[in-house]
């Protein structure tokens, strides 16, 4: 009985720690020296855990479209800052600033996003809870 209990506790501990081990740091995927500022149309906003994501279509000078995948913090962080699901919708034109991806060029860590024609960003600054936010 003690052996079974020890196995259950060990397995449970292992399974509970796996999500923490799977989490990545900023430097794993993004380059702080690769800052981008682009204008495009929002295609999707995902309010999912552990990271929100905003997808934006960017059209180059030749008319080619690239869909950018912009990572953010958790939905709870942004809701506490006053951001709501209806604040940014597919079809809206935005200007965003992000740190670009190391491997995937069209992936970024969102730094700010503003609707075209507006002066106040929907979001601006470091990801809530990040080391940069703590400074």
* Whole-number pLDDT of residue 26: 67
DSSP 24-67: --HHHHEEEEEEEEEEEEEEEEE--SS--EEEEEEE-TTS-EEE
pLDDT > 90: what percent of the chain?
A: 53
pLDDT in tens, 46-102: 999 989 999 999 999 999 999 999 999 889 988 888 889 999 999 999 999 999 999
Average pLDDT estimate for 110-135: 73
Residues β-bridged to residue 124: 112
Q: How confident is the model at residue 133 (pLDDT cuts 50, 70, 90)?
A: very low
Ordered by where they begin, the domains of the chain are 26-128 (2.40.50.140)
Residues β-bridged to residue 114: 95
* Whole-number pLDDT of residue 96: 96
**What is the model's pTM?**
0.75
Per-residue pLDDT at 15 exceeds 90: no
């Amino acid at each position: 009985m003690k052996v079974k209990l020890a196995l259950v506790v060990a397995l449970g501990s292992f399974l509970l720690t796996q999500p923490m081990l799977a989490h990545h740091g900023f430097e794993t995927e993004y380059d702080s020296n690769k800052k981008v500022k682009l204008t495009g149309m929002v295609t999707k906003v995902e309010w999912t855990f552990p990271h929100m994501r905003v997808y934006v279509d960017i059209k180059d000078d030749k008319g080619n479209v690239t869909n950018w995948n912009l990572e953010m913090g958790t939905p709870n962080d942004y809701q506490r800052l006053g951001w709501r699901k209806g604040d940014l919708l597919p079809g809206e034109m935005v200007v965003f600033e992000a740190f670009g991806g190391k491997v995937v060029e069209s992936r970024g860590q969102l730094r700010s996003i503003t609707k075209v024609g507006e002066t106040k960003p929907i979001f601006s600054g470091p990801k809530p809870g990040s080391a940069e936010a703590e400074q």
